């Protein structure tokens, strides 16, 4: 049903089924990855499944998405990604040429991210039982600088940064589906983020509270996670949110709010107020953070909610997306 939308429905599903079944202290925080200690080494471990239609789109394909997605989840734990696994579920009759193309871009992405794909598995399902190609990746990385990054760590006064313009991946996918005869120069933002994250963490040890990649459900969903986990308010400034005009245009036409549209190469960072400008400067000097911006501040009240201050001085509640992205209209 609506459980894939990346918002409240997914969250409820996760809490009701998985957390219940697998209950353990490392799973409980529902962060992007788990921090483990193996033989005295601190490691991060994560897994992600990739289902995307179409498989090839401007700016990337399911292959580099699968590599970057897991690399980014490790990066968000403050880890340096090392090794990945890759599992493929292929539909019978899936063109070999397409598979070659996907594996080639996985290899390229892995080499760019300095990770190796060390193990894998492939299953073929009957025609009509799969959507061409699904990929699952898992990854391990090393945590060199222990830090307590968590959505619950946000403190009153902290600044919230986003590493670049939002909504490009989701908008590119919508266009690539070809249902609309719209031409817009929008490419997926898919990219490995561990480099830019490492620079940030190295420069500001202990001052970064939270890191989240704004994938499904977009920036709005990440901010809601921060507000709920930290029991603080997140106050967003509408005018500060970086969105490219082409993305705004496509979202307007499709009836989407860019705040909820997925990114695959952008992250949200909650940073101590006094280091916010430094963090911003640092992000902006990195090739992946050119349009980084401070978009929000953390406040005490109203705890658990994300508020958007509009250009007119209004204050709107930015809620978690529930099911279809429809407004609460009569």
Partner 1 sequence: MTTLKRVDVHVEGIVQGVGFRPFVYSLANRLGLTGRVHNDANGVHIEVEGAHTGVAEFLTALERDAPALSEIERVTVVSGEPAGHSEFTIAASDPSGTRHALVSADSATCDACLRELADPADRRHRYPFINCTECGPRFTIVRGVPYDRLLTTMAGFGMCDDCAREYHDPGDRRFHAQPTCCPACGPRLRLRDARGTELCGDPISCAVTLLRAGRVVAVKGLGGFHLAVAAADERAAATLRARKHREDKPFAVMAADLAQARRLCEIDDAAAALLTGRARPIVLLPRRAGAPVATSVALGNRSLGLMLPYTALHHLLLAELAEPLVLTSGNVSDEPIAYEDADALTRLGGIADAFLIHDRAIHTRADDSVVRRMSGEVTVLRRARGYAPEPLVLRRPAPRPVLACGADLRSTFCLAQGRRAFVSQHLGDLDKHDTLRSFVEGIDHYCGLFGIRPEIVAHDLRPGYLSTRHALEIQGVEHVGVQHHHAHIASCLADNGESGPVIGVAFDGLGHGTDGTLWGGEFLRADLTGFERLGHLACVPMPGGPAAIRQPWRMAAAYLRDDHPDLDVARRHADHWADVAAAPGSPLTSSAGRLFDAVSALLGVRDTITYEGQAAIELEQRADPAETGVYPAAVTGPGPLLVQGGDLVRAVAEDLAAGTDPGVIAGRFHNGVAAAITRACVTLRQATGLTAVALSGGVFQNVLLLERTVERLRAAGFRVLRHVRVPPNDGGISLGQAAVAAARS
With CB under 5 to 8 Å by kind, the binding choice for 73 among partner 1, Mg ion, Fe ion, none is Mg ion
Record the tokens describing residue 309, joined without a space. 């201050």
User: Which entry of Mg ion, Fe ion, partner 1, none binds 183, CB below 5 to 8 A by partner kind?
Assistant: none
Q: Is 214 helix (H, G, I), strand (E, B) or coil?
A: coil
Query: What is the distance between the alpha carbons of residues 292 and 200, in angstroms, rounded to a whole number?
Result: 13
Give whichever of 21 and 329 is closer to partner 1, judged by the CB atom. 329
Q: Does 310 bind partner 1 (CB under 8 A)?
A: yes
> Does 245 contact partner 1 by CB under 8 A?
no
Find the binder of Mg ion among 61, 64, 73, 168 (CB under 5 A): 73
Write out the DSSP string of 14-37: IIIIIIHHH--TTTTT--SSEEEE
Binders in 169-198 for partner 1, by CB under 8 A: 177, 179-182
HSE-CB at 239 with a 13 A cutoff on CA atoms is 6
| CB 251, min distance to partner 1, A | 9
68 touches which of partner 1, Fe ion, Mg ion, none (CB within 5 to 8 A by kind)? Answer: none
Is the Cβ of residue 48 or residue 225 nearer to Mg ion in the bound state? 48
Helix/strand/coil (H/E/C) assignment for every residue in 249-294: HHHHHHCCCHHHCCCCCCEEEEECHHHHHHHHHHHHHCCCCCCCEE
Q: How many residues bind partner 1 (CB under 8 A)?
A: 32
70, 138 in Cβ contact below 8 A?
yes
326 binds Fe ion per the rule CB under 5 A: no
Tell me the CA distances in angstroms from 129 to 1, 10, 133, one per residue in order. 17, 23, 11
Partner from partner 1, Fe ion, Mg ion, none binding residue 48, C-beta < 5-8 Å depending on class = Mg ion
- Please enumerate in sequence order all residues whose Cβ is within 8 A of that of 277, keeping only pairs 6 or more positions apart, or say none: none
Binding mask 12-41 for Fe ion (x = CB under 5 A): ------------------------------
Binding site for Mg ion (CB under 5 A): 48, 73
Binding site for partner 1 (CB under 8 A): 8-9, 177, 179-182, 252-255, 302, 305, 307, 310, 312-317, 319, 321-330
């Amino acid at each position: 049903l609506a459980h894939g939308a990346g918002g409240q429905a997914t969250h409820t599903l996760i809490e009701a089924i998985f957390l219940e079944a697998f209950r353990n202290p490392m799973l409980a925080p529902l962060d992007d990855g788990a921090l483990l200690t193996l033989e005295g080494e601190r490691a991060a471990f994560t897994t992600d499944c990739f289902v995307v239609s179409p498989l090839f789109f401007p700016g990337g394909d399911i292959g580099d998405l699968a590599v970057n997605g897991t690399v980014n989840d490790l990066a968000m734990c403050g880890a340096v990604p090392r090794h990945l696994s890759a599992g493929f579920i292929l539909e019978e009759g899936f063109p070999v040429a397409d598979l070659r193309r996907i594996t080639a871009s996985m290899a390229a992405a892995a080499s760019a991210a300095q990770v190796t794909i060390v193990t894998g598995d492939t299953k073929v399902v009957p025609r009509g039982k799969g959507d061409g190609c699904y990929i699952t990746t898992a990854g391990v990385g090393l945590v060199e600088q222990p830090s307590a990054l968590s959505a619950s760590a946000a403190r009153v006064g902290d600044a919230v940064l986003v590493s670049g313009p939002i909504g490009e991946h989701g908008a590119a996918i919508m266009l690539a589906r070809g249902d609309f005869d719209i031409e817009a120069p929008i490419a997926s933002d898919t990219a490995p983020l561990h480099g830019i994250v490492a620079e940030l963490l190295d420069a500001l040890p202990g001052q970064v509270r939270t890191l989240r990649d704004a994938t499904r459900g977009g920036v709005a969903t990440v901010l809601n996670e921060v507000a709920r986990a930290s029991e603080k308010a997140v106050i967003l400034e509408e005018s500060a949110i970086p969105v490219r005009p082409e993305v705004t245009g496509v979202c307007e036409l499709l009836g989407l709010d860019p705040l909820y549209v997925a990114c695959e190469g952008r992250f949200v960072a909650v940073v101590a107020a006094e280091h916010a400008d430094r963090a911003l400067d640092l992000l902006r000097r990195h090739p992946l953070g050119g349009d980084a911006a401070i978009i929000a501040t953390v406040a005490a009240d109203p705890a658990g909610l994300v508020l958007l201050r509009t250009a007119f001085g209004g204050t709107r509640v930015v809620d978690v997306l529930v099911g279809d992205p429809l407004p609460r209209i009569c």
